[in-house]
Structure formats: structure tokens, C-alpha cells
Amino acid sequence: MNKVEEFIRTRENLNEIVMDFAKKDIKRFFNLDTSVYKEGALDSKTKEMLGLIASLVLRCDDCISYHLNQCHKAGVTSEELEELFSVGLIVGGSIVIPHLRRAISFWQELIR
Amino acid sequence: MNKVEEFIRTRENLNEIVMDFAKKDIKRFFNLDTSVYKEGALDSKTKEMLGLIASLVLRCDDCISYHLNQCHKAGVTSEELEELFSVGLIVGGSIVIPHLRRAISFWQELIR
Amino acid sequence: MNKVEEFIRTRENLNEIVMDFAKKDIKRFFNLDTSVYKEGALDSKTKEMLGLIASLVLRCDDCISYHLNQCHKAGVTSEELEELFSVGLIVGGSIVIPHLRRAISFWQELIR
Amino acid sequence: MNKVEEFIRTRENLNEIVMDFAKKDIKRFFNLDTSVYKEGALDSKTKEMLGLIASLVLRCDDCISYHLNQCHKAGVTSEELEELFSVGLIVGGSIVIPHLRRAISFWQELIR
Amino acid sequence: MNKVEEFIRTRENLNEIVMDFAKKDIKRFFNLDTSVYKEGALDSKTKEMLGLIASLVLRCDDCISYHLNQCHKAGVTSEELEELFSVGLIVGGSIVIPHLRRAISFWQELIR
Amino acid sequence: MNKVEEFIRTRENLNEIVMDFAKKDIKRFFNLDTSVYKEGALDSKTKEMLGLIASLVLRCDDCISYHLNQCHKAGVTSEELEELFSVGLIVGGSIVIPHLRRAISFWQELIR
């Protein structure tokens, strides 16, 4: 099982634990969290890129991995991703670099 | 002078003070900060939206105002912006709301 | 008009601008933001204190003012607030102090 | 040794290393960090919940685990915790979710 | 009254309000906050620069103004400050720029 | 291979992956990130301490480890480090403690 599969499986297992524990409001939040990335005035690809850069500058590895996977499915190319990372790096500063390293490494597994 | 013009003028005045004070490295950073938003694999409009959502979740009013202005010039519509704000709000949480309020108010002045 | 009234009025005006601009998802977020503070297994007073300390350590003045007002209505005493602030100050560090100063000053207007 | 015991043991070992290294000011900070959670105008249970939500929105896993353990000892129920998490999730946004997942998983081990 | 004097006066007034409100733990925190900047293995000048860059990357204008004033008294030069700002800008990213602008503007008033 | 060597090796491997992926702007950022720590009006030792405390209050373990290593090479003593940590702890609050624990543990390996 590679890094990507492991990430997805762990995430699913933990999400089940959350859903068992959560009541109405947390569940509504999770629904909303799905809803905002749906195709609309902006296409899904753009929205996933928005979710990715937000996760990057807030320095959340799990969120970054999740949105990288979504970006990959939505057809984001490595060239586009590299430019997104440039913007995120400039906005967030060198403190973002350790997350960038792991993100690029995760992306390489996704596209190979 | 309205809120938008005032923002732009204050920003320019302060940038002059920075440029007078700054030496090589800070100046190189400012150049880089311009360079990453240039048209490339991603168009300027997408890049400005990336800069905007990053500023929103990091809760920086001045950065938000700046990128709102850039988004406006790049042709972002109110419908697109509303969806970008939805993503930013979900990612960043209710702590983002005061910045969202000011952002929408700034945008209304931009588009009227 | 004192600081408290001014805060409440500005907040209401800006919320109207947000509601005019917002579509379904942002509105659902705002509803959820009301829902989580409702009396349940935890009483409203405790929930407002939770909202307040979260706002304090995340250093959001508007959010702090809002929850101070709610705490006041829910019957939080100055002694209780002082202890909540002690916890917030230790967790968040001296970077919290400027917000603490403004929070105490706002509270003094609320209770006089 | 389960996750809870492992967390407590690692924490104790590292705290010893800190105390060997620390001089007066760091030690005073640690004392203060104990003092603010003591029963006062607010009871310990409330204070531990305040410490927990502050740790959650600041996204510090170790701090969350520590306060979950303290909340458990202070008699916080799963129902109360679920509501605290709702508030923390709304305030802090989806960026909090990975920490929430680990927190709920840690809590399940605490209460079983 | 210029910007520097106004900052110092407002800060003193608000600190009085805090001290009237605060009990033992908050007061002990404030004492500790003074203590850590005292001459020791590191001189005061270095410690004030540490406090300044920490305030800069955490983006707290009041904290920045305070430490700029302390750095000025401790003999930090404009050349040294410019290099400190370069480090802070790289670490914290472009999100730091609005605070940098205000910081340089405040410094110019301090040294004239 | 001890913790320090492992950290350095992992970092080098990941940096290679970044450099393979990065184009001009990210590479310029990395160059700038090296440049700002070079001897100037402030000596390298002071600059590395600035980088360290910025990393500490922003709570980035990898950045902390990197700057600890650089501080060690630049001749920072344990006494000086302890005082830097005091400032960082007060500014950043108890949320910094888990990172402090790991930092001291890393430092002990560096100096033994």
C-alpha cells in the first residue's frame, strides 16, 4: 500500500469514527464542506485549487493531501500546481516549505 | 475620496516608505511577489483568486483589499467571488467572518 | 453612542451587506454558527465562554466583542471572565495581550 | 501500551528533559500553566474545556490530547464534548477536522 | 502628539485597566513578560530583536510597535532592523507586508 | 543514524524533490531564503536566532530543527538558547510547549 492509498484509508477510517460520534451540527458542517466545492459559477478544478492553497498557507498536511488528490482528479497539471505552490510560498513564507516538500512528494506518487 | 481610492493611496504611500528603507533582499521579495501572479500555466484571474483566498483564511484585511481590486480588474464576477468566499469561510471558520464583512463591503464599492 | 452600541450597529449593518450578497452555502454557515451556541448538553453560558476563548486565542477583536456581549447576557461574572482570560493568556501568550486590553475595556463598558 | 498511556509516558519523559534544561522563567511559566486551571470562580471542568477548545482551534494535537485527558478526569461527558467540538469546528473551520478526527479517536480510547 | 507618543499613552491607559481587572495569575504573567527580556546570557538588544521578529511573524501591530520602541532604546540601528525585517518577511511571507509597512513608518517617527 | 542525521538526510532528499519540481520563482525564493541569513549588519548567529524564534512561535518543527542545527554551528550556547526559548514561550504561549519539548530533545542530541 503506497502513501496515497494509506492516506485515503486512514482518512476514511477516522471519518467513520467522527460520523459515529457526531450529531446534527457537525454532520451539517461536513455536508457544507462537500457542498462548497461543487461545480457552480466556478468549476470544480478552480475550487479544489482554492481549497489547496488555503490548506497550504494554513499549513495543514492532511488537508493538503486531500486537496492534492482532488486536484489530480479534476485535471490540474504539474505546471499549474507548480504555479499555485509559488503563490502559496510567497504568501505564506518559508514556514510553508516543510509542507511544500511533503506536498510535492505526495503529488509525485499521485501522478506516477 | 472613497474607501477604494483611500486604500490604494495609503498603500502607495507606505510602499514608498518601504522601498526607501529596503535593501536588496526585501526588494527581491517584492519583485517575486509581483512575478508569481503573472499569467503562466494558470491565468492571472485564477492566480488573483488564489492570492485572495490565501489572504482571507490568513485574515489579512489589507491583503484581501489588494487582491479584491486585482480580481476586479481580472474580471472576477460577484457570483464567482461569492463561491470563493464560501470555500474560504468553510476552510477558515467563523473567525473569518469579520474579514468577510469588510471584504464584501469593499467589493460593493469596487463594482458600483 | 458608546463603544458597545457602535459595535452592535456596525456589525448589524455589515451583516445585512453579507446576507444580501450571500447565497445558500454562506447562509447555511451562518445558521450553523447560531445553532452551535444553543443550550444543549452544555448550557449557553458555557458555550459562549468557549466561543470567547477561541476568539481570544485566535486574536479576532470583533469576535471577542461579540462573545463578550453574549457572555454578559448569559450571566458571566467579572470574576469568571478574569479566570477565562488567565487561561487564554497562558495558552495564547503575550501576543494576546493587546486583544486582552481591548476586551477588558469593552467589558467595562458592558457592565457599567 | 495503548495510545493514551503512550501519550502520557512520552509527555512525562519530555517534560523531564525540559525541566532539566529550564531555568527560572520557563519554570515559572510552567507553574503558571498549572495554576490557571485550578478551581476558582470557574470550576476545573469548565477550565479544562476552555483549555481544550483553545488547543483545538490553535490546532495543537499534543495540547488537545492533554486536555482531553483532563476533561475526562473532570467528568466531561461525550455529549458535552460533542458540543464543544461543534463550537470549535465552526470557529476554526474545516482546517480543524484532521485534529478533530484524532481527538475523537483519542477520546474513544479514554472512555472505553 | 505624534504616533509614537500616542501609542505609548494609549498602551499605558489600557495597561492600567488591565491591572485593575487582573488578579494574581495575569499579574504573574505580566511580570514574567518583563523578566524574560532582562539582560542575561543574551543582552537586552538581542532579546528585544527576538521579541520584535516574533511579533512580526505573528502579525501583531501593537506588539511590533512596542518592541520597535524597545529596540530603538537598546541601540538597534536602521541597518540592523532592515536585516531583521528581511528574515521576518521571508519566514512569514507576503502576509507580513502590511505590518512591515506600518512598522517602518513607526520606526521613521522613532528615529527622526 | 541518530535523530539529527535522520533529520538532515530526510530534508536533503525532500529538497531534491522540490528542486526537480520547482521552476524559476520557487528557486528564487529558496535563494532568497539563504541570502537573508548571511552575515551583514547583524552577524549570522543573531540571524539564526531570529530564524529560530520565528519558527518556534509559528510552531514549525522542521524549521525549528533546521535553525537549531544552524544555531549550533554558529556557536549559540545552551544558556543563550534557554533564554531565547523563554522569550518564545512567553510570546507564543503554552501552545508552544510541545514544540519546545521536541526542540530541547533535538538540541541535547546536537550538543552531546
Q: What is the pLDDT of residues C44-93, one digit of tens each?
A: 999 999 999 999 999 999 999 999 999 999 999 999 999 999 999 999 99
Band of residue B1 on the pLDDT scale cut at 50, 70, 90? low
Rounded CA-CA distance C62/C103 in Å is: 10
Residues in chain F within 8 Å Cβ distance of E92: 54, 58
**Separation CA E73–CA E70 (nearest Å):** 5
Q: Give exposure, F31-66, as e/b (b: 16+ Cβ within 10 Å).
A: ebbeebbeebbbebbbbbbbbbbbbbbbbbbbbbbb
Q: E14-40, pLDDT tens digit by residue?
A: 999 999 999 999 999 999 999 999 999
E strand or H helix at F26, and its extent? helix F24-35
Q: What is the mean pLDDT of chain E?
A: 96
ipTM for the whole predicted complex goes beyond 0.85: yes
Query: Do residues E98 and B64 make contact, with C-beta atoms less than 8 angstroms apart?
Result: no
Burial (CB count <10 Å: 0-12, 13-18, 19+), residue E54:
buried
Q: Tell whether the model's pLDDT for residue D2 goes beyond 90.
A: no
B8 neighbors B69 (Cβ within 8 angstroms): yes
Q: Is the pLDDT of residue A1 over 80?
A: no
3-state helix vs strand vs coil in chain A, percent to 5: 80, 0, 20
Is pLDDT at D75 greater than 70 in this prediction? yes
Q: Give the closest residue to A69 by CA, choosing from A42, A34, A109, A36.
A: A109
Interface probe with C: pick from B60, B86, B110, B111, most Cβ of C within 10 Å: B86
Rounded-to-integer distance, Cα F27 and Cα F21, Å: 10
Query: CA quadruple A10, A12, A15, A21: dihedral positive or negative?
Result: negative
The shortest C-alpha distance from D25 to chain E (Å) reads 7
Give which of E21, E24, E25 to mutate to test D binding, by max D Cβ within 10 Å: E25
Do D66 and D34 touch, CB atoms closer than 8 A? no
Residues of chain D neighbouring B93 (CB-CB closer than 8 A) = 57, 89-96
Nearest-Cα residue of chain A relative to residue E86: A93
* Amino acid, single-letter form, for residue E97: I
Tell me whether residue E1 is exposed, middle or buried, using C-beta atoms within 10 angstroms of its C-beta: 0 to 12, 13 to 18, 19 or more.
exposed
Task: Give the count of beta carbons closer than 10 Å to the beta carbon of residue F95.
Answer: 22
**Residues in Cβ contact with F5 at an 8 Å cutoff, skipping those fewer than 6 apart:** none
CB contacts, 8 Å: A89 with chain F: 26, 29
Which residues in chain E have Cβ-Cβ distances shorter than 8 Å to A87? none
Q: With 70 as the cut, is the pLDDT of residue A49 above it?
A: yes
> Please, which pLDDT band fits residue E1 given cuts at 50, 70 and 90?
low
Which residues of chain F, if any, have pLDDT below 50?
none
Closest CA to A33 of D95, C43, D70: D95
CA distance B98 to B91: 15
Amino acid at position F110, single letter? L
Count residue pairs from A and C with Cβ separation < 8 A: 16
D104 touches chain C (CB under 8 A): no
